[in-house]
Structure 1
Amino acid sequence: MIDAISSISAFVERAGEAAASSQVTSLQKAAPVAQAGQSADFGDMMLQVAAKATETLKAGEAAAISGIQGKASVQQVVEAVMAAEQTLQTAIAIRDKVVAAYLEISRMAI
């Protein structure tokens, strides 16, 4: 599963290189990497989201393994797994929105 998310981040990176960079002014405030006077484009933002999702899923997996080995408390395991589940649900929602947007664009008359 983590490999699939890594491939998504690689796809986003390739798409960001191929596409012209567009400024997303409404998301500049939410982008943690963008500093004052800099703009964050959509490809960079999606790359950051994919990287953060991968980190969260890996942390959840590591916490589950630690819990099985008896090195982590049940509370720590549950918190990490819940965070991973929330991240996965967010990634699925983003994927669904991207697919819906693609289908909408493909239905447009030229």
Structure 2
Amino acid sequence: MIEALSLAGALLAPVSRPAPAAPSSALSGASFSDALAGVANSAADGLRTAEATSILGLQGKASVQEVVESVMNAQQSLQTAIAIRDKAVAAYQSLTQMAI
């Protein structure tokens, strides 16, 4: 019983978390358009990788697990890109509806 209470106390004890990392110097000087372009390029590279892995899977040179992981990563990248696009369109529409 005491061991269970000790374990529960240890699980409920506050967890020390590392301090957030400071932004790197490479990102601090980058413009928003550069960052957006980097995200878009990264998503496109992920889609190309997924396509290549899928072809290798069809040829029997890649395992099913590798194909599934690659396609899931590409799907996540595509969904992120779509969400960013939707937010940009919504922001543009909000700006166009403002009174001057």
Look up the equivalent residue of 1:74 and give its one-letter code.
V
CA RMSD of aligned residues (A): 1.7
Matched, 1:34 2:5: no
Query: 4+ residue runs of structure 1 moved beyond 6 angstroms?
Result: none
| Map of 1:86 onto structure 2 | 76
Structure 2: 5+ residue runs without aligned partners?
A: 1-21
Structure 1: 5+ residue runs without aligned partners?
A: 1-27
2:52 aligned residue (30, 55, 62): 62
Look up the equivalent residue of 2:42 and give its one-letter code.
K
How far did residue 82 of structure 1 move? 0.2
Question: What TM-score comes out, normalization by structure 1 length?
Answer: 0.67
Look up the equivalent residue of 1:59 and give its one-letter code.
T
CA distance in 1: counterparts of 2:56 and 2:87, whole angstroms: 35
How far did residue 34 of structure 1 move? 1.1
How far did residue 62 of structure 1 move? 0.5
Look up the equivalent residue of 1:66 and give its one-letter code.
L
1:49 aligned residue (34, 39, 48): 39
Aligned-residue identity in percent: 54
CA distance in 2: counterparts of 1:109 and 1:41, whole angstroms: 28
Look up the equivalent residue of 1:54 and give its one-letter code.
A
CA distance in 2: counterparts of 1:33 and 1:58, whole angstroms: 29
